[in-house]
Structure 1
């Protein structure tokens, strides 16, 4: 069953009693996980957090119980949320945490087709109720609770995870059984990464041809080919504003996942391998901890 729901207007202030307040354990408090944690706590949901690098979780002590052991974080939790770098990190964390059978597992990381299959298998093995729900958006939308969740899983799990999804996402799209969300995320990421790399190469080409690169954005502005994302990423590239809204290291991982998915599906995709190579090059150039817009720096240099 598919469908959407938009987040209702908040009905309670942070910390106030609200109906059906599930106890939430969030595993992973990095670029995306930390702002998601604040949104969950701000919705009045009891929250515990854990991160592999414990120091990254400490700043959340004002809104959540910070724990050094994933098993302690999930003990007694109604919903376990994972927001970690890749499938291996997700699976290792959940295996170590060992949530009780019947616990709802809201998996929001980008793990690819194979990774999604592995999460389904682990959930079945451990008796967990898996909702595979990777999110669209970067740090700022996460801070604003304006992500889009591509949710997939059993219909009966929707009510259990809805308070958490409503806290972090302005829109939830339900797309089928667990694993469908991860497959859709790859298809959407193909467009996102194509846009970022396309803007980077357009600006680099303009510069190489002796044209002011900012004129590319001005030529697109307000037309059918324009978008807020094109303008924001283009401005970041030209302004060397590479504070990571989404790290290039993650973009390189996602590009590899979508290229692998296309190959496994037997498709003759041409952009996917090129995107994988472009972001791998930028990663090799040392830009992994910068925003993915830093692929522009590699596009500007000679091979």
Structure 2
């Protein structure tokens, strides 16, 4: 398939590489052209303009930062989208953002899948993401070769656009909470004069263990957050979407707001562009 990836940040770049590795003809475009050009070669073509990137594509994947970034390219994307092409909208925008994008797309919304993904840098590079998809079953089937190239499996969230984005927020709330909880446990051990590594040793293999605690616990122990798989400010953006979604659903937001406050504090201390494990700095005195 000819597949276009719009947005070549950490996730989009990894997805483009996975698509090319699986034999797809891949075209990439990014608002900062140098990021797209850096991927050119090995089955990936960097387009000079968005319309040229989209023209002739069977599948167009948008992996941009937020709703506003997607809306900024929607008119041009829709104008260049082929009659039989599928638009796979993979940015984390929340259900409200998905609806706003669909409204802006007009008739082209009938060719759109709401398909955010679970996973960070390495799963994107390995084609091991989990794709959360909502929209018409026929579109999922049509886009499935591309979805299979970037993901290990596809979880269907229903026919309604926005359902997959709602599921993504629930999943990312868990990521944010587990990471902040790991940071708190390590900080509490240190505050009591206990080697924080012992916390990870103690939970390993038990009922309360999770591999993610060890993945994020390692940089928390070294204090090196430069290997970014999911930027801390990106988590803050997603937590803001979660708070709004919870309020719309009549759900208390106490825990979400507390967790968001921790990431806010870490960002205010200069760690916004670093990995989300830098939430550990929110517990520093």
Short-chain TM bin: over 0.9
What is the CA deviation profile of residues 226-261 of structure 1, one whole-angstrom value per residue up to 9, with x for unaligned ones? 011111111121122311011111111111111111
Using the TM superposition, give the Cα deviation of residue 122 of structure 1 relative to its aligned residue in structure 2, in angstroms: 2.6
Using the size of structure 1 for normalisation, the TM-score is 0.89
Using the TM superposition, give the Cα deviation of residue 198 of structure 1 relative to its aligned residue in structure 2, in angstroms: 0.4
Match of 1:60 among 39, 62, 83: 39
Q: Would you say 1:287 and 2:267 are equivalent positions?
A: no
Given that 1:196 and 1:293 are in contact with CA atoms closer than 8 Å, whether structure 2 keeps it comes out as yes
CA RMSD of aligned residues (A): 1.4
Partner of 2:27: 48
Structure 1 runs not aligned, ≥5 long: 1-21
Using the TM superposition, give the Cα deviation of residue 278 of structure 1 relative to its aligned residue in structure 2, in angstroms: 1.4
Partner of 2:213: 230
Structure 2 runs not aligned, ≥5 long: none
- Mapping of residues 136-285 of structure 1, within 5 Å: 136-177=118-159, 178-242=161-225, 243-285=227-269
Name whichever structure is richer in helix by fraction: 2
Using the TM superposition, give the Cα deviation of residue 23 of structure 1 relative to its aligned residue in structure 2, in angstroms: 1.3
Given that 1:23 and 1:47 are in contact with CA atoms closer than 8 Å, whether structure 2 keeps it comes out as yes
Using the TM superposition, give the Cα deviation of residue 68 of structure 1 relative to its aligned residue in structure 2, in angstroms: 2.4
Using the TM superposition, give the Cα deviation of residue 264 of structure 1 relative to its aligned residue in structure 2, in angstroms: 1.2
Given that 1:49 and 1:66 are in contact with CA atoms closer than 8 Å, whether structure 2 keeps it comes out as yes
Aligned length: 280
Using the TM superposition, give the Cα deviation of residue 128 of structure 1 relative to its aligned residue in structure 2, in angstroms: 4.8
Q: Would you say 1:27 and 2:6 are equivalent positions?
A: yes
Structure 2 distance, partners of 1:72, 1:207, is 55
Q: Secondary structure at the match of 1:61?
A: coil
Using the TM superposition, give the Cα deviation of residue 102 of structure 1 relative to its aligned residue in structure 2, in angstroms: 4.5
Q: Secondary structure at the match of 1:175?
A: strand
Match of 2:99 among 117, 124, 127: 117
Given that 1:259 and 1:273 are in contact with CA atoms closer than 8 Å, whether structure 2 keeps it comes out as yes
Given that 1:103 and 1:129 are in contact with CA atoms closer than 8 Å, whether structure 2 keeps it comes out as yes
Q: Secondary structure at the match of 2:132?
A: strand
Partner of 1:85: 65
Partner of 1:18: none
Deviation >3 Å, runs of 4+: 123-128
Structure 1 distance, partners of 2:135, 2:95, is 15
Q: Secondary structure at the match of 2:8?
A: coil
Structure 2 distance, partners of 1:284, 1:76, is 44
Using the TM superposition, give the Cα deviation of residue 44 of structure 1 relative to its aligned residue in structure 2, in angstroms: 1.0
